[in-house]
Structure 1
Amino acid sequence: MAELAATADAVLLLVTSMPSTTIVEGAQANLRNIFRGKKIQVEEIDGVDANNKTLRSEMFALSNLRGQYPQVFIRSGGTLKFVGDAEAVKSLNDCEDIPAEVLRDHPHIETFSKVFAAFLPQTSAPPPPPPAPSKRILEGIDNVMPSAHPTHHPSDGANATARGYVILGRHDSWTASPPLTMDINGAPHAVVQEEHDYMVRGLALARLCPTGSLDVVVTCMDGSKVECTIRVQQVH
């Protein structure tokens, strides 16, 4: 390895702006395409440029490929390391297709991603799964006040002697699709559209929700289902 002045780590591509043959020209183009495809930014060193004479000489001395183009080097921590010529880098790239289990059993096999690991763009971690949608909270009223009228417009399937009800919310709070039924313990109860809110009436909430809370499923007109939790309060 050759010692270099302290400069940023980089992949160096030694090329010539005056290729002697179309083979050299094609090899340089192939290397550029490989690094571009891997999203690795390379620093090109034109061996014909007199300003690069000292560095070019160091590179030739390191690779023992004097006068040959192109060549690839890695500059890391101020130290220059020879990687290979165009054919060697192509071989590294081809080794990416070797099955992972083969590479695991033969750790000596070099691959492009292993040699150039420090310069490959960091793959972003997959986004975390979206949080589970929180259940919609519905207000349940267990009406235990004495009344000469046992119920007020009970919903279909509701108990005509029960006066508990559930408020599903204002009409405009169900933006995706209006609620159609509310499933309580496997039994569907029709949702009624009243003046301002969607309601389910005629429920014996003290019996249905002895703990004061009950999970239910609301089926909307478009067939979608919304998981909800009824929080019950008594009105005396």
Structure 2
Amino acid sequence: MSTPTSPAGSRVLVVEDEPVLAGTVATYLDRAGHQVQTVGDGLQAVEVARDWSPDVVVLDLGLPGLDGVEVCRRIRTFSDCYVLMVTARADEVDTLVGLSVGADDYLTKPFSVRELVARVQVMLRRPRTGTPTASAQRRVFGDLVIDPAAREVQLGGQIIDLTPTEFDLLDTLSAQPRVAISRQQLIDRVWGGGVGDDHLVDVHIAHLRKKLGDDPSRARFVTTVRGVGYRMGTGQ
């Protein structure tokens, strides 16, 4: 996929089956300088995402036919674009399910379109590639190797497929081994602040641990610091 150096001119795919809302969101994103496409169903969304390679997908959860969760699953098989999930159901289960398949952030309807645009802008300002510097040297925790410059993670010599947000969390934690980092600090560093939802961190950490085969009760890599947040362990 393309890797923009700034939010302006980035490609945003809006997947929303309410034409008026889709049009409003597209108008605001266009005014912010983005290239925008809108689609109203899940199957078309997957096709457009594959052909157009968007930088961000604004994805409604409650689509007819192929719902947002399945759309996100399929997009994740070929793209590491950012996914902002939108749901009309405030039920936390929907949110957690959406995030567990690789969504990076979410909004609950009704929402401010300006806030949506701001969330997209924050996502696009997050670095997607690194340059080799002292702080970007490979980090080794037992058989876990994190390469910030390449944005690559290997476990036991095998590459682990992480979403951009999962990598950013692991990158942030591993940059300060054994330092407890609060959930709010992780929100500020990874999401650029303004999210204000600890569940966002917890769900991504849980999914990251699953991919790393890390048992929370006997953590080798990501340790829970009760009442605070998380820290990177020493590895075994």
Interval of TM-score (by shorter of Structure 1 and Structure 2): under 0.3
TM-score by length of 1: 0.24
Structure with greater Cα Rg = 1
TM-score, normalising length: structure 2: 0.24
Could you say which structure has the higher strand fraction? 1
Structure with greater contact order relative to length (CA < 8 Å, sep ≥ 6)? 1
Which one has a larger percent helix, Structure 1 or Structure 2? 2
